[in-house]
Amino acid sequence: MKKLIVIAFALTLALVAVSTPALATIEVEGDAYVGVYDKYLWRGFDLSGGKPVAQAGVDLTAGNFTLSYWTNLQLSTDAGEGYKSGEATENDIVLDYSRDINDLVSISVGNIYYMLDGLDDTNELYFSAALSTILEPAVKVYYDWDEAQGDGLYFTASIGHSYELSDALGLSIGALVGYNQESDYAVGDYSDWHNYELSASIDYAITDQISVTPSFLFSSGISDDAKQSIDSEMVSGVSVTLTF
């Protein structure tokens, strides 16, 4: 069943690519970024033993397609969890297709390939839909078609808002809630609400191409099953982004 879904997804991407008008010249744009954070937090899980990390990545966009690479580098050793300073504990490759359906609705489909240090690598397909309206509501579905033995589904719903404080300064706030449906490899072998997240960030444009972003996120488990594997956590850091 999982293979059939993956094949259908691949065919969908191929049909979308064929239906997109051919461009005489393919224009590529993107960004590169690096940040330092006091820990690596993912879906409420502390994946750095509470130690600081550096995270970096690059996004290349051509038309509606984006190819991304992301890495997490452990900056301090945590012997208890086995995290060693200087090791890249995770590298991700993401292929994404995004487009506006109309002035109100936009969608994204893609695949995340997780390369994990000390664990089996895995893949997640995802689909998201967002509304360009007040609070920018969005829903996203992830499907682990690789290593999950159960349903392998994870859902998020989010809202957010951005404020322009000045020509060079912007404030973004957001809230997200996650629901796990037997994504047993990445999250847990249960179907229930997983965690909620509250976030805030400030973007300061140094130039038209370079910006600095301090950020803060709070995460906490919701269901009893989630609280058995994750604690209430806070993560803060700062990143620098170059657009091109």
Predicted pLDDT at 80: 80
Predicted pLDDT at 10: 53
Q: How many domains does the chain have?
A: 1
CA–CA distance, 240 with 242 (Å, rounded to integer): 7
Q: 40: domain CATH number?
A: 2.40.160.40
**pLDDT higher than 50, residue 23:** no
**pLDDT higher than 80, residue 141:** yes
**pTM (2 decimals)?**
0.88
Q: What's the chain's average pLDDT?
A: 92
CA–CA distance, 165 with 181 (Å, rounded to integer): 40
Q: What is the arithmetic mean of pLDDT over 144-163?
A: 97
Range of the domain at 197: 2-21+29-243
Token duo for residue 182: 């037997």
Angle, CA of 236, 237 and 240, to the nearest 5°: 150
CA–CA distance, 146 with 6 (Å, rounded to integer): 10
Predicted pLDDT at 4: 47
Phi, psi of 197 (to 5 degrees): -135, 140
